[in-house]
Amino acid sequence: DTEVTQTPKHLVMGMTNKKSLKCEQHMGHRAMYWYKQKAKKPPELMFVYSYEKLSINESVPSRFSPECPNSSLLNLHLHALQPEDSALYLCASTRDRSSTYEQYFGPGTRLTVT
Amino acid sequence: GQNIDQPTEMTATEGAIVQINCTYQTSGFNGLFWYQQHAGEAPTFLSYNVLDGLEEKGRFSSFLSRSKGYSYLLLKELQMKDSASYLCAVYNAGNMLTFGGGTRLMVKP
Protein backbone atom coordinates (compact mmCIF):
# COMPACT_ATOMS: atom_id res chain seq x y z
CA ASP A 1 0.00 0.00 0.00
CA THR A 2 1.74 3.17 -1.22
CA GLU A 3 -1.21 5.46 -0.82
CA VAL A 4 -1.85 8.62 1.11
CA THR A 5 -5.55 9.35 1.47
CA GLN A 6 -7.17 12.68 2.25
CA THR A 7 -10.73 13.60 3.17
CA PRO A 8 -12.79 15.43 2.22
CA LYS A 9 -11.93 15.88 -1.45
CA HIS A 10 -13.71 19.24 -1.57
CA LEU A 11 -14.74 21.58 1.26
CA VAL A 12 -16.63 24.85 1.21
CA MET A 13 -16.74 26.73 4.48
CA GLY A 14 -17.71 30.14 5.77
CA MET A 15 -15.33 32.38 7.65
CA THR A 16 -16.94 31.55 11.00
CA ASN A 17 -16.98 27.77 10.52
CA LYS A 18 -14.75 25.18 12.16
CA LYS A 19 -13.76 22.23 10.00
CA SER A 20 -11.00 19.61 9.84
CA LEU A 21 -8.99 18.03 7.06
CA LYS A 22 -7.83 14.46 7.47
CA CYS A 23 -4.84 12.61 6.07
CA GLU A 24 -3.98 8.94 6.49
CA GLN A 25 -1.15 6.63 5.41
CA HIS A 26 -0.38 3.02 6.26
CA MET A 27 3.14 2.79 4.86
CA GLY A 28 4.79 3.03 8.26
CA HIS A 29 6.09 6.50 7.41
CA ARG A 30 7.11 8.56 10.44
CA ALA A 31 7.25 12.00 8.81
CA MET A 32 4.11 13.72 7.59
CA TYR A 33 3.65 17.09 5.95
CA TRP A 34 0.96 19.66 5.19
CA TYR A 35 1.38 21.83 2.09
CA LYS A 36 -0.77 24.63 0.73
CA GLN A 37 -0.95 25.11 -3.04
CA LYS A 38 -2.56 28.07 -4.77
CA ALA A 39 -3.51 27.85 -8.43
CA LYS A 40 -0.53 27.77 -10.82
CA LYS A 41 1.89 27.93 -7.88
CA PRO A 42 4.10 25.24 -6.34
CA PRO A 43 3.23 23.58 -3.03
CA GLU A 44 4.30 25.63 0.00
CA LEU A 45 5.24 23.81 3.17
CA MET A 46 3.07 24.56 6.23
CA PHE A 47 3.89 21.94 8.88
CA VAL A 48 6.12 18.92 9.38
CA TYR A 49 5.48 16.17 11.92
CA SER A 50 8.24 13.75 12.82
CA TYR A 51 7.38 10.76 15.01
CA GLU A 52 4.05 12.39 15.88
CA LYS A 53 5.72 15.57 17.13
CA LEU A 54 5.50 18.94 15.41
CA SER A 55 8.93 19.48 13.91
CA ILE A 56 8.43 22.54 11.72
CA ASN A 57 5.83 25.30 11.60
CA GLU A 58 6.54 27.60 8.68
CA SER A 59 5.05 30.67 10.39
CA VAL A 60 1.53 29.54 9.63
CA PRO A 61 -1.32 31.63 11.16
CA SER A 62 -2.95 30.13 14.25
CA ARG A 63 -6.26 29.71 12.41
CA PHE A 64 -4.59 26.55 11.06
CA SER A 65 -3.98 24.00 13.80
CA PRO A 66 -2.30 20.67 12.98
CA GLU A 67 -2.66 17.51 15.00
CA CYS A 68 -1.02 14.09 14.74
CA PRO A 69 -3.01 11.64 16.89
CA ASN A 70 -0.93 8.64 15.82
CA SER A 71 1.72 7.65 13.32
CA SER A 72 -0.83 7.01 10.55
CA LEU A 73 -3.06 10.02 10.91
CA LEU A 74 -2.60 13.75 10.42
CA ASN A 75 -5.32 16.35 10.85
CA LEU A 76 -5.51 20.03 10.03
CA HIS A 77 -8.10 21.93 12.06
CA LEU A 78 -9.45 25.09 10.47
CA HIS A 79 -11.12 28.00 12.24
CA ALA A 80 -11.97 31.56 11.24
CA LEU A 81 -10.36 31.25 7.84
CA GLN A 82 -10.13 34.03 5.28
CA PRO A 83 -11.09 33.86 1.59
CA GLU A 84 -7.38 34.02 0.68
CA ASP A 85 -6.94 30.68 2.45
CA SER A 86 -8.82 29.03 -0.41
CA ALA A 87 -6.36 26.58 -1.97
CA LEU A 88 -5.51 22.94 -2.50
CA TYR A 89 -4.22 21.44 0.76
CA LEU A 90 -1.85 18.56 0.20
CA CYS A 91 -0.69 16.00 2.71
CA ALA A 92 2.52 14.05 2.14
CA SER A 93 4.55 11.45 3.97
CA THR A 94 8.04 10.04 3.82
CA ARG A 95 9.89 7.31 5.67
CA ASP A 96 11.34 9.74 8.17
CA ARG A 97 12.73 13.26 8.34
CA SER A 98 16.35 12.20 8.19
CA SER A 99 15.99 10.34 4.90
CA THR A 100 15.79 11.82 1.45
CA TYR A 101 13.29 9.40 0.06
CA GLU A 102 10.50 10.63 -2.14
CA GLN A 103 7.51 12.21 -0.54
CA TYR A 104 4.23 10.49 -1.29
CA PHE A 105 1.41 12.97 -1.80
CA GLY A 106 -2.26 12.55 -1.13
CA PRO A 107 -4.86 13.73 -3.68
CA GLY A 108 -5.46 16.93 -1.74
CA THR A 109 -8.48 18.74 -0.35
CA ARG A 110 -9.79 21.60 -2.46
CA LEU A 111 -10.83 24.23 0.11
CA THR A 112 -13.03 27.22 -0.70
CA VAL A 113 -13.62 29.85 1.98
CA THR A 114 -16.66 32.06 1.37
CA GLY B 1 18.44 31.25 0.62
CA GLN B 2 16.61 28.88 -1.69
CA ASN B 3 16.09 29.60 -5.35
CA ILE B 4 14.79 27.11 -7.89
CA ASP B 5 14.06 28.28 -11.42
CA GLN B 6 12.11 26.60 -14.20
CA PRO B 7 10.45 27.97 -17.33
CA THR B 8 6.82 28.86 -16.66
CA GLU B 9 5.32 27.29 -19.77
CA MET B 10 6.37 25.11 -22.69
CA THR B 11 4.52 23.80 -25.71
CA ALA B 12 5.46 20.71 -27.73
CA THR B 13 3.96 18.44 -30.36
CA GLU B 14 2.70 14.92 -29.83
CA GLY B 15 5.43 12.39 -30.61
CA ALA B 16 8.22 14.92 -30.14
CA ILE B 17 10.90 15.27 -27.43
CA VAL B 18 10.90 18.08 -24.87
CA GLN B 19 13.51 19.10 -22.28
CA ILE B 20 12.48 20.99 -19.14
CA ASN B 21 15.35 22.71 -17.38
CA CYS B 22 15.75 23.49 -13.70
CA THR B 23 18.48 25.51 -12.02
CA TYR B 24 18.84 25.71 -8.27
CA GLN B 25 20.70 27.47 -5.51
CA THR B 26 20.01 25.95 -2.11
CA SER B 27 21.60 25.77 1.32
CA GLY B 28 23.06 22.32 0.90
CA PHE B 29 21.91 19.60 -1.45
CA ASN B 30 20.55 16.15 -0.67
CA GLY B 31 18.88 15.26 -3.93
CA LEU B 32 16.61 16.57 -6.66
CA PHE B 33 13.16 15.29 -7.57
CA TRP B 34 10.90 15.75 -10.55
CA TYR B 35 7.17 15.47 -9.98
CA GLN B 36 4.30 15.54 -12.47
CA GLN B 37 1.09 17.27 -11.45
CA HIS B 38 -2.14 17.31 -13.43
CA ALA B 39 -4.49 20.20 -12.69
CA GLY B 40 -6.29 19.73 -9.37
CA GLU B 41 -4.42 16.53 -8.56
CA ALA B 42 -1.54 15.60 -6.27
CA PRO B 43 2.07 15.64 -7.50
CA THR B 44 3.28 12.20 -8.54
CA PHE B 45 6.91 11.14 -8.36
CA LEU B 46 8.83 10.86 -11.63
CA SER B 47 12.53 10.74 -10.79
CA TYR B 48 15.24 11.27 -8.21
CA ASN B 49 18.85 12.32 -8.82
CA VAL B 50 21.50 12.68 -6.14
CA LEU B 51 24.61 11.89 -8.19
CA ASP B 52 25.69 13.55 -11.42
CA GLY B 53 24.50 11.93 -14.59
CA LEU B 54 21.47 10.69 -16.41
CA GLU B 55 18.73 8.50 -14.95
CA GLU B 56 16.49 6.87 -17.53
CA LYS B 57 13.05 5.47 -16.83
CA GLY B 58 11.03 4.59 -19.88
CA ARG B 59 10.04 7.71 -21.81
CA PHE B 60 11.32 9.94 -19.01
CA SER B 61 14.95 10.74 -18.23
CA SER B 62 16.44 13.14 -15.71
CA PHE B 63 19.92 14.63 -15.66
CA LEU B 64 21.82 16.29 -12.83
CA SER B 65 24.98 18.39 -12.65
CA ARG B 66 25.64 19.31 -9.03
CA SER B 67 28.59 21.56 -9.87
CA LYS B 68 26.36 23.64 -12.14
CA GLY B 69 23.24 23.49 -9.97
CA TYR B 70 21.37 22.23 -13.00
CA SER B 71 18.95 19.48 -13.88
CA TYR B 72 16.69 18.66 -16.78
CA LEU B 73 13.76 16.36 -17.36
CA LEU B 74 13.59 14.84 -20.84
CA LEU B 75 10.28 13.52 -22.12
CA LYS B 76 10.34 11.42 -25.29
CA GLU B 77 7.53 10.29 -27.61
CA LEU B 78 5.21 12.87 -26.11
CA GLN B 79 1.61 11.90 -25.58
CA MET B 80 -1.39 14.13 -25.01
CA LYS B 81 -1.66 12.83 -21.45
CA ASP B 82 1.78 14.31 -20.73
CA SER B 83 0.16 17.76 -20.65
CA ALA B 84 0.68 18.71 -17.01
CA SER B 85 2.85 20.77 -14.70
CA TYR B 86 6.33 19.45 -13.99
CA LEU B 87 7.80 20.40 -10.63
CA CYS B 88 11.50 20.42 -9.84
CA ALA B 89 12.13 20.03 -6.10
CA VAL B 90 15.35 19.98 -4.08
CA TYR B 91 16.13 18.55 -0.67
CA ASN B 92 18.39 21.02 1.11
CA ALA B 93 20.87 20.28 3.89
CA GLY B 94 18.05 20.16 6.43
CA ASN B 95 16.12 17.65 4.32
CA MET B 96 13.43 20.19 3.59
CA LEU B 97 11.89 19.86 0.14
CA THR B 98 11.66 23.13 -1.79
CA PHE B 99 9.72 23.28 -5.03
CA GLY B 100 10.37 25.34 -8.10
CA GLY B 101 7.49 27.24 -9.63
CA GLY B 102 6.65 24.41 -12.00
CA THR B 103 6.60 24.24 -15.78
CA ARG B 104 3.21 23.91 -17.48
CA LEU B 105 3.66 21.69 -20.52
CA MET B 106 1.05 21.71 -23.26
CA VAL B 107 1.21 18.88 -25.79
CA LYS B 108 -0.53 19.64 -29.07
CA PRO B 109 -1.63 17.17 -31.73
- pLDDT for res A1: 62
Which whole number is the average pLDDT over A72-87? Answer: 96
* B69 at A interface, C-beta within 8 A: no
Nearest beta carbon to residue A102 from set B45, B100, B102: B45
Three-state SS across A23-90? EEECCCCCEEEEEEECCCCCCEEEEEEECCEEEEECCCCCCEEEEEEECCEEEEEEECCCHHHCEEEE
Which whole number is the average pLDDT over A89-113? Answer: 89
Cβ(B98)–Cβ(B4) below 8 Å: yes
With a cut of 90, say whether residue A100 has pLDDT above it: no
- pLDDT for res B93: 76
With a cut of 80, say whether residue B104 has pLDDT above it: yes
* B100 at A interface, C-beta within 8 A: yes
- Per residue in B23-48, pLDDT (tens digit) is 999 888 889 999 999 988 889 999 99
Nearest beta carbon to residue A107 from set B41, B91, B102: B41
- pLDDT for res A97: 77
Distance CA B96, CA B77 (A): 33
- pLDDT for res B95: 74
With a cut of 80, say whether residue A45 has pLDDT above it: yes
- pLDDT for res B2: 74
Q: How far apart are the two ends of chain B, measured CA to CA in Å? A: 41
Q: How far apart are the two ends of chain A, measured CA to CA in Å? A: 36
- Per residue in B34-84, pLDDT (tens digit) is 999 998 888 999 999 999 999 998 999 999 999 999 999 999 999 999 999
Distance CA B109, CA B106 (A): 10
Position A96 confidence tier, pLDDT thresholds 50, 70, 90: confident
Nearest beta carbon to residue B95 from set A98, A102, A106: A98
List the single residue in A with minimal CA-CA distance to B46.
A102
Cβ(A60)–Cβ(A45) below 8 Å: no
- pLDDT for res A81: 94
* B50 at A interface, C-beta within 8 A: yes
Contact flag A100-B104 (C-beta cutoff 8 Å): no
* A25 at B interface, C-beta within 8 A: no
Contact flag B104-A40 (C-beta cutoff 8 Å): yes
